[in-house]
Structure 1
Amino acid sequence: MSLSSISRRHFIRNTSLAFGSLMLPLPKGPAKLSFSTLGCPDWDLPEILVFAKKNGYQGIELRGIKKDMVIPESPWMSADMLGQTKDMIKQSGLKVVGLGSSAQLHHTEPATADKHLAEARQYIDLAAALGCPNVRVYPEKLTEGGDKQATMKLIGERLLMLGDYAKARKVNVLMETHGELLYAKDLEQVLSSARHSNVGIIWDVVNMWVKTKESPASVYPILKPYIRHVHLKDMVWDGDKFNYVLFGKGVAPVREAITALQNGGYKGFYSFEWEKRWHPEIAEPELAIGAFPQAFRSMTGTV
């Protein structure tokens, strides 16, 4: 049976049975936990929601559903299915805390730039329809055109443009610390030029640290005004390269970052980003994603 042919009653009834069979309540600890679906590339949306609730998460971050990396093109987000999808998410008791676009803000070639901005707007529209608060975008390259300062200025201008578009739809545009925009001083320059009520960042702690070696404790005061969402993972060094490991089993300064966030009054989600889609050799999602909540709470003393 194709997805579009599932009757509403059958869809909702089966989903209700799946969630009703889970007796474990969500933990009431101070931290809100989510995971990115980058970590479970073979799971369909019902599997994602059931696993998240069963394993103590409060939210999910959509970055691909099975083969569909462009979330607005997933059958679950089609006009025919969106209402049923929203019902299923509501019944799960979970929150979709972010949609991960691939939109990049650094491009100087007009047609390419327009394509990426159109993707960002498409995700913002979908987030508004889902009641999802955040859409991720990338800064990406700083020297593609040979002028770093001009590119940083361009990224800031596009954040402001998307912030205006998102504000009208009650959504936030969050730039991930990613690509070549990783050093705190560069991030501060871009973000201070793009101050907007609906613009912020996703602080990917490991993305920054493996490149810059700036300590989270020193970075946090600079980034604090802009942090709306956090990505966590862990790793070990293999020469000058690194390998991902289960959370809490590596050498990344994640405890330092979490301590800074908690002491600074951060109230957003901590989202586990297990890059299984890009690194199929790493541990299966049942193990890695399943282990994160307990590892996080053990690390932070909130078990």
Structure 2
Amino acid sequence: MSGIDTVPAWAAGRLAFSTLGCSAEPVEQVLELARRTGCHGVELRCAEGEPVAPDTPTAALREIGKRFADAGVEPICVASYVRIAAPDGDPVTDLLHHVEIAEQLGASYVRVFGGRDGQADPHPAAVQRLGEVARRIEGGPVTVLLETHDVFCSARAVAAVLAEVGSPAVAALWDAVNPWRVGESPREAADALAPWLRHVQLKDVHATDDLAPVLPGHGTVPLGQILTELDGLDYRAWLSLEWERAWFPEAPPLDEALGAFRAVLAAHQAAE
């Protein structure tokens, strides 16, 4: 694939993809895709119909974790659909359950969303519930990552929650599209998230009002500027392609998107 040999050394071993781009494929195919594309990490979407789901038995989770370890691929993140500030349900219990899933897999992170669009002031509920979870998992192997998404689309909103929670057990996931589409520049987003940033998802889309995926480097997301800001932060954690083919089945296959992703990284390196 284009760019493989010129990807920066720090990125070459820290490239990942989300199984949102290969939804419902068995673990063996996911690992083969990782091997074929040179990715050493995978975000595992945790949902019904996926190899990892909220009701997957513990023994099966451990077996999946072993397969990843044997293949030399890290299951970096359990991508949960918990909405920590949701006005209904029991988000704390749900999130703690997903932390247990991550522990069985050997994953370092659990992704969590904010709330439901239109709900009034989700901030207090997010702080209270994430604080409760943090007290129960602090010192353990799993960190909860609040994503820039839904009611916390902006980096400033996520940073405000994390500053108030004040625990190393809860950190930030920068979905690069959402702060950009609500008007934050890459620099503003990077500056806001810097103290808590643990994981980054990159993708490209047609426009702020048209989120259909396009091959990285062929859309309007300022990926080069985002990478420059990450360089400025001396960011050395995972860069993950979130290819939303589950929602947009007409999008090109994930391996094609990963090739374009690597080309973007190579072009960024060449421009430095």
TM-score between both structures, scaled by the size of structure 1: 0.80
Instruction: Spell out, residue by residue over 1:151-174, the C-alpha distance to the aligned partner (whole angstroms, 9 max, x if none).
Output: 201111111112222325321000
Matched, 1:207 2:178: yes
8 Å contact kept, 1:248–1:299: no
Q: Would the aligned equivalents of 1:55 and 1:293 in 2 still touch at CA under 8 Å?
A: no
Structure 2: distance between partners of 1:80 and 1:70: 12
- What's the CA shift for 1:127? 1.1
Report the CA distance between 1:65 and its aligned residue. Answer: 7.6
Q: Which residue of 2 aligns with 1:139?
A: 114
**Superposition pairs for residues 33-112 of structure 1, below 5 Å?**
33-64=15-46, 67-68=49-50, 71-74=53-56, 78-109=57-88, 112=89
User: Which region of structure 1 is more displaced relative to structure 2, 171-180 or 40-49?
Assistant: 40-49
1:292 and 2:267 correspond: no
Counterpart in the other structure of 1:187: 158
Match of residue 229 from structure 2: 260
The 8 Å contact of residues 134 and 167 in structure 2, kept in 1 or not, is answered as yes
> Residue in 1 aligned with 2:205?
235
Q: Flag the 1:176–1:260 CA change in 2: closer, same or farther, 3 A.
A: same
Query: How far is 1:72 from its partner?
Result: 3.7
Q: Pairwise CA RMSD of aligned residues? A: 2.4
* Aligned residues with identical type, % of pairs: 28
Structure 2 CA distance for partners of 1:70 and 1:83, relative to 1, 3 Å: closer
Structure 2 match to 1:124: 99
C-alpha distance 159-171 of structure 1, shift in aligned 2 (>3 A): same
Give the structure with higher Rg (CA). Answer: 1
Unaligned runs of 5+ in 2: none
8 Å contact from structure 2 (residues 187, 229) kept in 1: yes
**TM-score of the superposed pair, with normalisation by structure 2:** 0.88
Structure 2 letter corresponding to 1:84:
E
- Can you list the C-alpha shifts for 1:150-197, whole angstroms capped at 9, x where unaligned? x20111111111222232532100000000212343333222111101
Query: 1:160 is paired with a residue of what secondary structure?
Result: helix
Aligned to 1:29: 9
Change (3 A) 1:286 1:165: same
Change (3 A) 1:108 1:86: closer
Query: Relative to structure 1, is the Cα distance of residues 88 and 159 closer, same or farther in structure 2, using a 3 angstrom cutoff?
Result: same
In 2 relative to 1, CA 223–28 (structure 1 residues): closer, same or farther, beyond 3 Å? closer
Higher relative CO (Cα under 8 Å, sequence separation at least 6) belongs to 2
Offset from partner CA, 1:41-83 (integer Å, 9 cap, x none): 1421111111112211110000148922862434xxx344344
Q: 1 CA distance for matches of 2:61 and 2:180?
A: 38
Q: Give aligned pairs, total.
A: 265
Distance change (3 Å), C-alpha of 1:85 and 1:263: same
Query: 1:69 and 1:141 mapped to 2: Cα distance?
Result: 26
